[in-house]
Amino acid sequence: MGTIIAMAGKGGTGKTTIAALIIRSIKETKIGSVLAIDADPNSNLGEVLGLKAGRNIGMILDDISANPDKVPSGMAKDRFIEYQVQSAIQEEDGFDILSMGKPEGPGCYCYVNNVLRGVMIKLIKDYNYIVIDNEAGLEHLSRRTTRFADKLVVVSDASSVGLKSAQRINELIEQLKFKVREKLLLVNRFNKNVDKIKLKETGLEYLGSLPYDPLMEELSFEGKSVFNLSKDAPIMKALNLLGDQIWKRN
């Protein structure tokens, strides 16, 4: 079973960018195979990694729900779904990516969602690292993939509102009975000491902070991928120093 790293955080904290940087770091250190899962309906992870959008799980669910007769005769429905999911994986240089997307059709997805969880469990066994970029709240992950993670990295800014949001995410994890070995808080775009009392109130283990990096902001503004960022960029150096706690420590 690979190491599952699930990302969470409110909008605007840089969660997706950090997920992409983690994928880049794992790829460049060559410590194992990587499956990136874009579980945010907005599906921005591929773009931040410099990829064009491909077929996603939402499209598959819509298609099967609207056209059940597409399942070939003699093939079990769950096997057909598994085949479709496998075909939606984009194989890139040093990592693979699977985008969940969002179903738009009126059909019932209870059956296909349950089958999909089983498919994801099988996929997880094929990779050393699985990095899941979730939408804030984790509902998407709890519905469709797995309810377990080795590391949950909640990304926040240093504001009271941001840390309160991180606290609510932690509370929601408990409500959903989401099994996590380590719940980590990462404060982004901050160059000072964070209030320790506010950190403790989140209920998360404080991982550290990443500095504000104008180079990263410039790349984002230009629509360039994280692979265009220099290895010596402050945010890359800071993230790699935290790597042992995110993707190396068992």
What the block records as the tokens of 238 is 């800071």
Question: What tens digit of pLDDT does each residue of 169-208 get?
Answer: 898 888 878 889 999 999 998 867 677 888 999 999 999 9
Are 20 and 26 in contact by the 8 Å Cβ rule? The answer is: no
- pLDDT value of position 249: 57
CATH number for the domain that contains residue 173: 3.40.50.300
C-alpha to C-alpha distance for 224 and 226, rounded to whole angstroms: 7
In a domain, 7, yes or no: yes
Question: What tens digit of pLDDT does each residue of 198-212 get?
Answer: 899 999 999 999 998
The one-letter amino acid at 203: G
Question: What tens digit of pLDDT does each residue of 86-136 get?
Answer: 889 999 999 999 988 776 666 555 665 666 677 778 888 899 999 999 876
24 Cβ neighbours under 8 A, 6+ residues apart = 49, 226, 227
In a domain, 157, yes or no: yes
Where are the strands (E) in 86-128, listed by range? Answer: 90-91, 96-99
Q: What angle do CA 139, 8, 153 make, to 5 degrees?
A: 135
C-alpha to C-alpha distance for 9 and 157, rounded to whole angstroms: 9
Looking at every residue in the chain, the average pLDDT score rounds to: 85
- pLDDT value of position 16: 92
Are 7 and 18 in contact by the 8 Å Cβ rule? The answer is: yes
- pLDDT value of position 144: 47
In a domain, 56, yes or no: no
Mean pLDDT of 5-20: 91
In a domain, 75, yes or no: no
Question: What tens digit of pLDDT does each residue of 28-66 get?
Answer: 999 999 999 988 777 789 999 999 878 888 888 788 888
In a domain, 114, yes or no: no
The one-letter amino acid at 207: L
Question: What tens digit of pLDDT does each residue of 58-89 get?
Answer: 888 788 888 888 889 888 888 888 888 888 99
- pLDDT value of position 11: 84
Range of the domain at 20: 3-51+91-101+125-248
- pLDDT value of position 241: 93
In a domain, 110, yes or no: no
In a domain, 130, yes or no: yes
pLDDT band at 226 (very low <50, low <70, confident <90, very high): very high
- pLDDT value of position 62: 83
In a domain, 134, yes or no: yes
- pLDDT value of position 235: 93
What the block records as the tokens of 80 is 């057909």
- pLDDT value of position 148: 82
Phi, psi (5° rounding) for residue 148?
-135, 145
Number of domains in the chain: 1
36 Cβ neighbours under 8 A, 6+ residues apart = 19, 23, 45, 49, 95, 96, 97, 98, 131, 133
Are 216 and 233 in contact by the 8 Å Cβ rule? The answer is: yes
